[in-house]
Amino acid sequence: MPNFISFFPKDVKPKGLNQKAIPSLPKIKKYLFDDDFENIQKINSMPSFVQQEPTLFYPGSGCDILIPLLVMERLFPKLGRIRFCFVDKNNTLELIKTVLDDVGVSFSEHEGRLDFYWNNLFVSLSFIQEDVFRMTLPSFDIYFERSFRIMKEADSTYEQRIFANLRKKGIIISDSGFRDQSLVPNAFPPELSSYGEMIVGFKK
């Protein structure tokens, strides 16, 4: 049986950067379905980016901070720095801060940007409260998508625009779609997709 997961924001004050604040695995698992955590452990590492500090773009992110962190850690174990750009119509930044604080991650905050260490990975997270279908898309090196198929079905040009803004040799990680885009596929646990069609590949 899957575990029950609930999120309640707290008034969390930034404690500052602290690389020694190691996230607690038991507390991480509290926020994940058992199958998700087990399937993430099946991910094999990929060659590191030429880009030393890639940008990950995550539309409809909600408060889903732990899954992309765990996936990046498995995919690119030698990566030292990364930028996260989360976009959601609802402001879930307080929930994200609550989750980070609860699992033992210490962060600093500057004008809505969170900086923190996830083990040896330095993360700089920017949160944009916006409708991704109406905003001007930034350029990015990693596109990360989960449970977003129903939303993007209403926009037939969405995947093409995402692909156009993905930098050369960038990677798409999605649990659905992108079959028509020119991607070099990479093996990935299909169980991570709730639709059974995990899409992971590099842009040529």
Report which of 94, 53, 106, 57 is spatially closest to residue 76, judged by C-alpha positions: 53
Q: What is the pTM of this model?
A: 0.91
Please enumerate in sequence order all residues whose Cβ is within 8 A of that of 93, keeping only pairs 6 or more positions apart, or say none.
Answer: 112, 114, 127
**Ordered DSSP codes for 54-95:** -EEEEET-TT--HHHHHHHHHH-TT--EEEEEEEESS--HHH
| pLDDT tens-place string over residues 84-126 | 999 999 999 999 999 999 999 999 999 889 999 999 999 999 9
Counting as low any pLDDT under 50, the low residues of the chain are: 1-2, 4
Please enumerate in sequence order all residues whose Cβ is within 8 A of that of 112, keeping only pairs 6 or more positions apart, or say none.
Answer: 93, 126, 127
| Confidence (pLDDT) at 1 | 37
Is 123:69 a contact under the CB 8 Å cutoff? yes
- Count other Cβ atoms within 10 Å, centred on residue 68: 22
Q: Which residue reads 């109406």 in tokens?
A: 134
Q: What angle do CA 129, 135, 140 make, to 5 degrees?
A: 90
Radius of gyration over alpha carbons of the chain, in Å?
16
6 vs 95: CA distance, rounded Å: 11
DSSP 105: -
76 vs 120: CA distance, rounded Å: 11
